[in-house]
Amino acid sequence: MLASKHPFEQVHSPAFSHSGHRSPIEARLGLNGCSLDLLIAHPAPPALPFWAEEQRTLIDVLHAHLTDKDRFILMGDFNTTPWSMSYKNLPGKRVADPRWSRTWHSPIPFLGLPLDHVFIGEGLTPTGFHSGPNVGSDHMPIFTRLALDPSCEAGPDQAGLAL
């Protein structure tokens, strides 16, 4: 489910030409005359060779899709760590320092991994980020707060965007 207090201009699952079975969700929000593209992705874990190839292909396609966009948010469980080769192809800037944002829960303390990420384009600035408590999943929730660039006139309730 995808929900927003801001109206969606469009929501769809792009027909990217990759061999994977996990299609991302793409939405466009209209905020004070500016458009913000939101992509949510969940590539396969690289546990098997064909899943690793599917992950690399989807990340490459996402990179190509977002290369010319300034205002975008790309987020999801990418099943990849910041030190993996496929991570380096993810577009945009990661919102938080991955060394301190363990998002994959491990029953062994301090053994979790940062597998869930939020990347943003140049038209956004992060103003807050934290991972939440264990909610019964093998992943921790992540929360981020973003500010739009000054070229978008902020209305009284739209000065920032919380995810």
pLDDT digits (tens, 9 = 90+) for 37-70: 999 998 888 888 988 888 888 888 888 888 888 8
Q: Is 37 within 8 Å of 72 (Cβ atoms)?
A: yes
Q: Where are the beta strands (DSSP E) in the chain?
A: 8-12, 25-31, 34-41, 72-77, 93-94, 116-120, 124-131, 142-148, 160-162
Nearest to 103 by CA among 132, 60, 146, 124: 132
The whole-number average pLDDT for the span 71-82 is 90
What distance in Å separates the CA atoms of residue 15 and residue 12, rounded to the nearest whole number?
9
Q: Where are the domains of the chain?
A: 8-162
Report the amino acid identity of residue 161: L
On the question of pLDDT at 98 being above 50, the answer is yes
Q: What pLDDT is attached to residue 18?
A: 55
What distance in Å separates the CA atoms of residue 71 and residue 85, rounded to the nearest whole number?
25
The whole-number average pLDDT for the span 117-146 is 86
What distance in Å separates the CA atoms of residue 161 and residue 163, rounded to the nearest whole number?
7
Is CATH 3.60.10.10 the right assignment for the domain spanning 8-162?
A: yes
For 68, residues 6+ apart whose C-beta sits below 8 A from its C-beta are none
pTM: 0.83
